Amino acid sequence: MTDLPTLRESLEQHGLMAKKSFGQHFLLDLNITRKIVRLGGPFTGDPVIEVGPGPGGLTRALLESEASHVIAIEKDSRFLELLTELKGPYGDRFEVIEGDALKVDEMQLLTERNLSSGAHIVSNLPYNVGTPLLIKWLTGPWQPKSLTLMFQLEVALRVVAPVGDDDYGRLSVIAQVLCDCDKLMDLPARAFTPPPRVDSAVVRLVPKNERPDAAVIKNLENVTAAAFGQRRKMLRSSLKSLGGEALLAKAEIDATLRAEQVPPDGFLRLAAALT
């Protein structure tokens, strides 16, 4: 525990209001942010990268955890001064960086600071860049140890949707081929300041030990884009440009199925057959 001002007091002291263009919906109740950190952890002895700390509610909960370091990446420079105050109680365990998380090279960020590359990502994601950031962390060269992410509910449901479900799609396949995925908790829109139009949920993704090579991951992105781009069509038609029936036979997938009927490991076979 520290004698920091409350999050509302901090926002007031710095004259800060949420900006829509940055997707800002804040969690000002530390009971909620502590719960997210408890469910997403443990982070014992590992660095955590937080995207979009804003006023720092999740950041404070992360700093109270056993994470070795918390590196926060914030695009809105208005919050840097407020966040730097967390260095008072937490010193070198905390660093805030001004930047766009879509462009950050996490591996470089960690090695430059002599931190373990086995870091976790925790974020109450800005809704407008949530999906591209997830795709970056899933398919990029750097592998986080785990990802604990707040999404709008609709996106969270797509990440964890099982085959055959209405929400099952490209994001479900890519996430589930590469990670074990769980929805940890739901949060109503009223938990945020200001409240967004939709409810939210926290998802935890843990990358699987066996990771397909980069070429297969690229193929997985292409094959799912083609299959779910025309999700009502049979695969022999939607995958025609990628090899159609011959590709499906090689991957031992029934050519009359539609995309939503093929489980993640079926798509992985298709991606491997494409190489």
Three-class SS state of 90: helix
Distance from C-alpha of 43 to C-alpha of 120, rounded to nearest angstrom: 7
130 counts as binding ligand SAM under rule CB under 6 A? no
CA 204 to chain centre: 8
* Closer of 107 and 249 to ligand SAM (Cβ): 107
Q: Are the beta carbons of 161 and 168 closer than 8 angstroms?
A: yes
> What type of residue sits at position 24?
Q
217 counts as binding ligand SAM under rule CB under 6 A? no
Compute the least distance from the CB of residue 192 to ligand SAM, in Å: 7
Q: Are the beta carbons of 269 and 170 closer than 8 angstroms?
A: no
Where in 78-97 is the site for ligand SAM (CB under 6 A)? none
75 counts as binding ligand SAM under rule CB under 6 A? yes
25 counts as binding ligand SAM under rule CB under 6 A? yes
43 counts as binding ligand SAM under rule CB under 6 A? no
* Closer of 78 and 183 to ligand SAM (Cβ): 78
Compute the least distance from the CB of residue 77 to ligand SAM, in Å: 9
Which tokens hold the place of 107?
Answer: 């591996």
Q: Are the beta carbons of 179 and 203 closer than 8 angstroms?
A: no
Contact set with ligand SAM (CB under 6 A): 22-27, 51-55, 57-58, 73-76, 100-102, 124, 126, 129
